[in-house]
Amino acid sequence: MGVLQSSKVVKARALLEKSHVDLEQFSLGNLVGRITELSAAPSAPVLSFISLIIREAQAHEEPVVWISACESVFFPPDFDANGVDLDALPVVWAPDLKTAVRAAEHVLRSNAFGLVVLDLHPHAIIDQGRLGKLARFADLHRVAFLFIAQQEKAVSFSLGSIISLRFHSYRSALGENAFQCVLEACKDKKTAPGWEFSERFYGPDGLC
């Protein structure tokens, strides 16, 4: 969404960034201009948290794009239940990692999206030069760029030192299909790591 100010258009994400932002919150304003990595270990509630960011971006009329280098993507009914407008969420399905990264670079260069999500397959390794280029474009155009780093084990590795903000997540059952889900910042270049963001989510009927 653009706001006319002094004969120029200011994007909503720029206004969010200039407003008071709690650096210990998983919010669009805190992610703008940064490369963020979410480590998706088995059973981690990463997609639930990402649905919140997509919903926030859409609420501010910031276009969102999902790029996948995996064989599968998010489960649409879950995103719909969390308030994501699926009709306003284009999905780019790349045949391999190299193509997915190139697609992400083109999207960032276009400055047409406020939030870009790149879903990676397990053991994905991105050239550090290419990663640096993505970081520069995200910073230049003030785009929130999220990597989903699929992990096969709870102990995970990072995509590289260029990552500005990195999370791993876990959940605990509360009963009656309720789960307390937590994102823990294990790396944060803007503030001290170790802070947590917590949210309660509900699973489908019959899930223990």
Tell me whether residue 94 is in a domain: yes
From the list 31, 6, 26, the residue with the least C-alpha distance to 16 is 31
pLDDT per residue as tens digits for the range 125-178: 899 999 999 999 999 999 999 999 887 655 556 888 999 999 988 888 988 889
Tell me whether residue 125 is in a domain: yes
More confidently predicted of 64 and 191: 64
User: What pLDDT sits at residue 120?
Assistant: 92
Encoded tokens for 81: 């239940």
User: What pLDDT sits at residue 28?
Assistant: 94
Tell me whether residue 180 is in a domain: no
Tell me whether residue 189 is in a domain: no
Tell me whether residue 118 is in a domain: yes
Residue indicated by tokens 């926030």: 56
Contact call for residues 72 and 187 (beta carbons, < 8 A): no
User: What pLDDT sits at residue 175?
Assistant: 82
- Count: domains in the chain: 1
Cα separation, 167 vs 183, in Å, equals 6
Quote the percentage of the chain above a pLDDT of 90. 63
Query: How does DSSP classify residue 24?
Result: T
Mean pLDDT, rounded, of the chain? 86
Tell me whether residue 145 is in a domain: yes
From the list 2, 73, 62, 5, the residue with the least C-alpha distance to 32 is 62
More confidently predicted of 99 and 152: 99
Q: Provide the greatest CA pair distance for the chain.
A: 55
Query: pTM for this one?
Result: 0.86
Phi and psi at residue 193, in whole multiples of 5°?
-70, 170
Residues 6+ apart with CB under 8 A from 116: 64, 65, 67, 104, 107, 108, 138, 143, 144, 145, 146
More confidently predicted of 148 and 7: 148
User: What pLDDT sits at residue 25?
Assistant: 85
Alpha helices in 60-96 (DSSP H): 76-81
Query: How does DSSP classify residue 193?
Result: S
Note down the domain range covering 125: 23-164
User: What pLDDT sits at residue 9?
Assistant: 47
More confidently predicted of 101 and 205: 101
User: What pLDDT sits at residue 71?
Assistant: 82
- Domain harbouring 77, CATH code: 3.40.50.300
Tell me whether residue 11 is in a domain: no
Residues 6+ apart with CB under 8 A from 88: 58, 63, 64
Tell me whether residue 136 is in a domain: yes
Contact call for residues 100 and 118 (beta carbons, < 8 A): yes
Q: Is pLDDT at 66 greater than 60 in this prediction?
A: yes
